A and B are shown apart, each in its own frame.
Chain A
Amino acid sequence: MVGQDYKKGESEAGLDYGWRFQGKPVLLPEDRSAIVDGSSHLMQMALTEMSKEYFSVERCLQCGMCTEACPNTMLNTNSRFSPRKFIQELRLGLIDFSGEDLWFCTNCGSCVSVCPYEIPFIDVMKDLRNLVIEQGAGYLPQSLKSAISSCRRYQNPWMEDPNKRADWSKTLNILTLKKDNTDGVLLFVGCLPSYDERGKKIAKAATLLLDKAGINFDFLGEKEVCCGDGILRSGDYRTFEKLKKINTESFEKRGIKKVYTISPHCFDVMKNHYFEKNEDKFLVAPFILLLYEMLTEGRLKINKPINKIVTFHDPCFLSKHNHIVSEPREILKSLPGIELREMEHHSVKSICCGGGGGGIWLDRKKGERLTEIRLEETLSTKADILVTACPLCLSMLEDTVKNDNRFEPIEVMDICELVLEGI
């Protein structure tokens, strides 16, 4: 009957979009996959495997809202990447795996947030990349290749020695850092704050804040490995599973109840992929929520006024993926002397820095970087400091500031560093 069965099978598998084909795998006629490098069976296999995603792709209206929302179309290069076109090519089996198109998406989630038919474009992208990485179906950028092989060998994407992972903390004297703490609070540092010279400052600031607030916590030190977010979103599922296993085992061994991650990327991947659904072994939250708690509960006292104008860049994995937008703003507003100015695109409409979905390992040419749009918006607010809450955003934004004279007056800071300045 009319209007009755448009979401058939919803109850069985959570969300089954296969209402048109009732879950049957779809065989593609031969000519559909003719252009995929003679490896037509790969396309077919891939599409059958991604049945959920595939069916939802089939119902795309081709309305173009995703392309309009995609930050890539805001570049002057004029829409080299169009999610709408990508879906159309995908369902005709015409995707050019040998081109760069597959690696343009930064998984920021703008397209998903506007799509009227709720097509999980990011999952589709993930599965297609998996095809390239695990089956060798097409072009894989060199820098991404080395990041992936580094993750396999050293459990971090930067070819760094796993034994030096906790070096940043050696010079610090943290009283509340306890190996066998009874509170079960863990700070998950992440790769960038562990190894990168600039990133280490964020890790130090976060631990000092915890110390000042008198919160007992633990961290995994050398035992910590990459959370696997970038690897998963680049499509390497096997390596992700390995990394996930190492981390979850260490959590269990230490009796962890709460994990606070410095990077929103670690938070998102742990929340959605570390445990099967309905299994709440422990609470995962981004560090910014703990910081918000510490400030509102009065455990941290801000003494020194910071007389600066700031603007806040929303990390995609806080804003668009997890709708955490008010807390960072509350924190900034509670600091004495700070004036918060909003950019043209902010909160859930914020523009990606380009670092997500493996984008941090790719080199984009000048004029094609998403950070440039972001920094230009920062310039027009006339803010002194661009505050963010993600090590990846910080690294991407600061790289562009250093390499472009236009953006020289902007200082990029993590919110932890800014709060620490006031203490």
Chain B
Amino acid sequence: MRVLVLGGGITGLKTAFTLSEFDIETIIVEKSSEIGGKVKRYDKIFPDFRSGKNLVKNLIASARNSPNITVLENSTVTNVAKNNRSYTASLSDGKIIEVDAIILTCGFEVFDATRQPEYGYSVYPNVITSMELESFLNPEGPTKGKLLRPSDGKVAKRIAIIFCVGSRNMKIGNPYCSRICCSYSTKQAIEIKENDEEAMVTCFYMDIRTYGRGFEEMYQYAQEIGVKYIRGRVSECSVLPDGNIQVRAENTLLGKPVQGVFDLVSLSVGMMPCVDAEELAGIFGIERGKDGFFLSKDDDLFPHDTSKEGVFLAGSITGLKPIRDCFLDAMSVSGRVVSYLTDLYKNR
């Protein structure tokens, strides 16, 4: 029994690891040069502030050491053919492999903040995205964990975090909520405040959606240590001669306009379907929803199945999930695949 796992992020790794415990052989096909996905870049993950890097390090080690798992980096699937009950997949490096089932764990892509030009990302150096803020907060990152302004290298004391950039916006075609931005932005705000007590962090939000276990408590803790939350969507960022960023919004709870000057503005970017989603949908012949994420056969009863037998979905490919939900998804898809393979071999 052999399974192809497309995507070597946390979902893909955890799926391969779980399947290997059932003595099922898995091949992880990863597009980039190193497995581990996006989480290996995070120093701390919410809500318990544990190290994302260590988490992934253990997963990578077990994948590399397991005799059941083969890792193919720098490669993608270019074509898939179904023969009776198995699949023949052609890879970009010319390899051809035969597998019984395919699991797609291709994840998501971060929204390109330049598509909302009113915030001036890539025009004003002191407007950064949350991914860049994450690397600033990483002690092993480019600034050794210090929050320095890109324009002049001074320590940033006044920081604004703008929520819902690239989410809940019909104009740019993303009407959905990205689900995790409220929580990761709150985590970042706490990190800034805990690293530097004098830092002033202001969050501009529309609704706070800290829905998971421990997420809301994290939000309350942030308010307790002095992170300010202002309800209002920022309409515009403009730059002042000294590089500071002026932000305008309406405080919708007071019904009054607010204007603030900040050293650094971080845009909490939402998530988009993975870049090659359209190509993958074509190769595997499966459907995507209007939001661009992949559709499962039935959201409630068969959350991992697709319209093609033997092709399964897991992780953020079916919509955004926090890290712990991705792990859950990985384990539940493994269960589904095991039952599928048992069925397949029984009838042979």
Contact = CB atoms under 8 A, between A and B. Distances in A.
State yes or no: do A and B come from one complex.
Answer: yes
Given A3-B289, A84-B250, A65 B171 contact: no
A79 B170 contact: no
Give the interface SS of chain A, mostly helix, strand, loop or mixed: loop
Give the interface SS of chain B, mostly helix, strand, loop or mixed: loop
Contacts of A61: 168, 206-207, 233
Contact of A3 (B231, B234, B251, B291): B291
B252 A1 contact: no
B236 interface: yes
Contacts of A68: 232, 234-236, 248-250, 257
Given A62-B206, A64-B233, A7 B290 contact: yes
A65 B256 CA distance: 12
A55 to B, nearest CB: 13
Contacts of B232: 63-64, 68
Interface string A51-81: 0000000000111110111000100001100
A2 B294 CA distance: 10
B233 A63 contact: yes
Contacts of A62: 206, 252
B92 to A, nearest CB: 29
A118 interface: yes
Interface in A77-106: 78-79, 82, 84-85
Contacts of B250: 64-65, 67-68, 73, 79, 82, 84
Contacts of A6: 175, 290-291
A367 interface: no
A4 interface: yes
Nearest to B207: A61
B295 A1 contact: yes
B299 interface: yes
B233 A73 contact: no
Interface size class of B (residues with CB under 8 A): 20 to 34
B319 interface: yes
Contact of B290 (A4, A69, A116): A4
B252 A2 contact: no
A79 B257 contact: yes
B169 interface: yes
B293 interface: yes
Contacts of B255: 79, 82, 85
Contacts of B207: 61
B256 A79 contact: yes
A164 B55 CA distance: 84
Given A116-B233, A118-B170, A4 B295 contact: yes
Interface size class of A (residues with CB under 8 A): 20 to 34
A275 interface: no
A296 to B, nearest CB: 29
Interface string B234-251: 111000000000001111
B176 interface: yes
B228 to A, nearest CB: 16
Nearest to A119: B170
Interface centre among A62, A64, A79, A117 (most CB of B within 10 A): A64
A142 B336 CA distance: 73
Nearest to B288: A3
Contacts of A63: 164, 206, 232-233, 252
Interface in B153-186: 164, 168-171, 175-176
A115 B233 CA distance: 10
B147 to A, nearest CB: 27
Nearest to B300: A1
Interface centre among B175, B235, B251, B293 (most CB of A within 10 A): B235
Interface string A1-37: 1111111000000000000000000000000000000
A418 interface: no
A114 interface: yes
B334 to A, nearest CB: 22
B252 A84 contact: yes
Contacts of A2: 289, 291, 293, 295, 299, 318-319
B206 A73 contact: no
Contact of B235 (A65, A78, A117): A65
A114 B299 CA distance: 34
Contacts of B169: 116-117
Interface centre among B231, B250, B293, B319 (most CB of A within 10 A): B250
Contacts of A64: 231-233, 249-252
Nearest to A73: B257
B299 A1 contact: yes
Nearest to A67: B250
A106 B234 CA distance: 23
A63 B231 CA distance: 7
A177 B232 CA distance: 56
A4 B168 CA distance: 15
A64 B118 CA distance: 15
A4 B294 CA distance: 10
Interface string A350-392: 0000000000000000000000000000000000000000000
Nearest to A110: B235
Interface in B192-217: 206-207
A73 to B, nearest CB: 6
Contacts of B299: 1-2
Nearest to A6: B175
A84 B254 CA distance: 12
Interface centre among A5, A63, A67, A117 (most CB of B within 10 A): A63
A61 B175 CA distance: 11
Interface in A148-200: none
Interface centre among B252, B256, B292 (most CB of A within 10 A): B252
B257 A1 contact: no
Given A4-B295, A63-B232, A82-B255, 8 more contacts: A63-B206, A63-B252, A68-B234, A73-B250, A79-B250, A84-B252, A116-B169, A117-B175
List 6 A-B pairs, minimum CB-CB distance, nearest first: A64-B250, A3-B291, A63-B233, A3-B289, A68-B235, A116-B169
10 contacts: A3-B176, A3-B292, A61-B168, A63-B232, A63-B233, A65-B234, A68-B249, A84-B252, A117-B168, A117-B169
Interface of B: 118, 164, 168-171, 175-176, 206-207, 231-236, 248-252, 255-257, 289-293, 295, 299, 318-319
